[in-house]
Chains A and B, each alone.
Chain A
Amino acid sequence: MNITEMLSYGFMQRALVGGSLIAILCSVLGVFLVLRRLSLIGDGLSHVTFGSVALALFFRLHSFYMTLAIIPVVLACAMGILKLAQKARIYGDAAIGIVSALGIATGVMLASLAGGFNVDLFSYLFGNILSISSSELAIAALLFCVVLAGVGIFYNDLFASTFDEELAKSSGIDTDRINAILVLLTALTVVLAMKVVGIMLISALLILPAVSALQLAKGFRTAIVLAAGIGVCTVVTGISLSFVMNLPTGATIVLINFLTFVCAFAARSVLRKR
């Protein structure tokens, strides 16, 4: 099958566009999260997304309406993680663990109460970007604009808070507000990324392009641009390869991302020795 034929399919066009948009968001936010040692928040929020998907299925919401319904739930849980860490005097990783476990437990409980769901819950766990509909692509495009605008507007404050929170505070930056913005933008991105790689693998899409870029980047802005480039390339390659070779898309994307990380790590080691 040649590239022209592959691109002639509407579902492939939607998958490549949607996948690229989501890859850019995950990679850009991933750089901030990885450097702030918040990488696992993606994992926690994806588990919350699992619970939210189960809740939506429980109320028989599907596709477009499901995405709309789970966004506020995931946003609320993201804020819950922040508040728990601030008010309950526990570290962020423990707060992520609590909310994450709550998400999974809720999902399993609802699935059990409903006696199993008719739709394939498996597709939400492992993603299926090839089945993305036009309306879902429209939501992805809208949220892409919202999240990217958020990062663009608060870029300097996000950079300063990521570099050193105390120094940022001493410059008059409201770091609590900036943390909330970062976590909320991540929550929106996680909901979108569910379709690309699935709930189980979302954190890989947030972490791997970012850590690959951090092996090679010389400067913060370069790291962001490089991560976005790596994210798009690996997602496009993963989608195409999975289509041609009939492989699971989410897993293919993650494995290609891992190989990219290994190459970036090797390149860094070689460059250091010179």
Chain B
Amino acid sequence: MSGAALTIENLSAGYHGSQALNDVSFSVNAGDYLGICGPNGSGKSTLVKVILGLLAPDNGEVTLLGTPQSSFKSWQRIGYLPQGLQFFNPHFPATVDEVIRLGRLAGKSFPKRFNREDMAAVERTMEWMGISHIRGSMIGELSGGLRQRVLLARALVNNPELLVLDEPTTALDPETRESFYKLIYEMNRENKTTVLLVTHDTATIGKYASHLLYLDKKVIFCGNFDDFCTSTEMTGLFGEHGQHLVCHRH
């Protein structure tokens, strides 16, 4: 796998006239693990929304897996895991396998019907993620950690080339969070899946990501994580002792 998985050029975007991103440009090579961090309101989630086509940019261009985002149709090549469901209803009557199967709708043409291949992909993903035993459980009855694992399975059911994670572990306990990140790290290493991880937790980025994008409405730093650790940007952002906090790999 080679070439750029994602290219963003001169991107500006926002909501109702207020600008959340201003002239942002960067690219991510296939197989990279990019951690995206920045303070609250720095435009991290806005960037994710633009990448996924959930928000139209004001200016600039997004190229996804070699195709301009405006004409991108192969959504099965991209997996997305949000922080949580938008308006999660704990009484929603969907089973774990029904939720994971929804991931297979991406890229399907009309009329969207599931076939044996889809069922096999759901089975494979559940087995790989160790959640086959809860296939018939209702999504609302699961713990926060298990629910995020199911949603991750939904994002991975197409074996995507690009995985976008928007603060996926905010509501999880440290142990669950750790196992979650290990799983994504393995996937990046073994399957060469390109990962974009939005998080407040710079230590996690230091531990697992190969590259870092620091945003504050515009790009403050983008590059190799080790380069960030010795950069003036890092010292400017985190102070003299920041290197130990941010760059210490456990």
Contact = CB atoms under 8 A, between A and B. Distances in A.
B82 A218 contact: no
Interface in A18-51: 35, 37
B106 A171 contact: yes
A156 B112 contact: yes
B82 A156 contact: no
27 contacts: A35-B89, A153-B111, A156-B105, A156-B112, A159-B94, A163-B94, A163-B99, A164-B88, A167-B85, A167-B154, A169-B54, A170-B52, A170-B53, A170-B78, A170-B80, A171-B75, A171-B102, A171-B107, A172-B73, A172-B75, A214-B91, A218-B93, A218-B136, A219-B93, A219-B94, A219-B95, A223-B93
Nearest to B164: A170
A160 B105 contact: yes
A165 B94 contact: no
A217 B105 contact: no
Given A35-B92, A170-B52, A170-B80, A220 B98 contact: yes
Taking each of A37, A164, A218, A220, which has the highest tally of chain B beta carbons within 10 Å of its own beta carbon?
A164
Interface in A138-177: 153, 156-157, 159-160, 163-173
A160 B98 CA distance: 10
A181 B88 CA distance: 23
A206 to B, nearest CB: 17
B138 to A, nearest CB: 6
B80 A167 contact: yes
A169 B112 CA distance: 15
A92 B52 CA distance: 25
A13 interface: no
B238 interface: no
Q: How large is the interface on A (under 10, 10 to 19, 20 to 34, 35 or more residues)?
A: 20 to 34
Contacts of B113: 156
Contacts of A167: 80, 82, 85-86, 102, 154
A222 interface: yes
B102 A159 contact: yes
Interface of A: 35, 37, 153, 156-157, 159-160, 163-173, 214, 217-223
Contacts of B57: none
Nearest to B48: A170
A173 B105 contact: yes
B169 to A, nearest CB: 17
Interface residues of B, number: 32
Nearest to B79: A170
Interface string B95-139: 100110011011100011110000000000000000000001010
A223 B95 CA distance: 11
Nearest to B72: A172
B184 to A, nearest CB: 17
B75 A170 contact: yes
A163 B92 contact: yes
A223 B91 CA distance: 12
B93 A222 contact: yes
Given A157-B112, A160-B102, A218-B136, A169 B94 contact: no
A166 B102 CA distance: 13
B42 to A, nearest CB: 20
Given A170-B80, A220-B93, A164 B103 contact: no
Contacts of B93: 35, 214, 217-220, 222-223
A160 B102 CA distance: 6
Nearest to B89: A35
Chain A to chain B: the 3 pairs with minimum beta-carbon distance, closest first: A172-B75, A171-B106, A170-B80
Contacts of B102: 156, 159-160, 163, 167-168, 171
Contact of A218 (B78, B95, B112, B154): B95
Nearest to B94: A220
Taking each of B82, B103, B105, which has the highest tally of chain A beta carbons within 10 Å of its own beta carbon?
B105
B94 A172 contact: no
B82 to A, nearest CB: 6
Given A156-B112, A164-B86, A165-B86, A172 B92 contact: no
Contacts of B54: 166, 169-170
Interface in B7-54: 52-54
Contacts of A221: 98
Contacts of B75: 170-172
Contacts of B53: 169-170, 172
A172 B95 contact: no
A223 B94 CA distance: 9
A167 B53 CA distance: 11
A222 B106 CA distance: 23
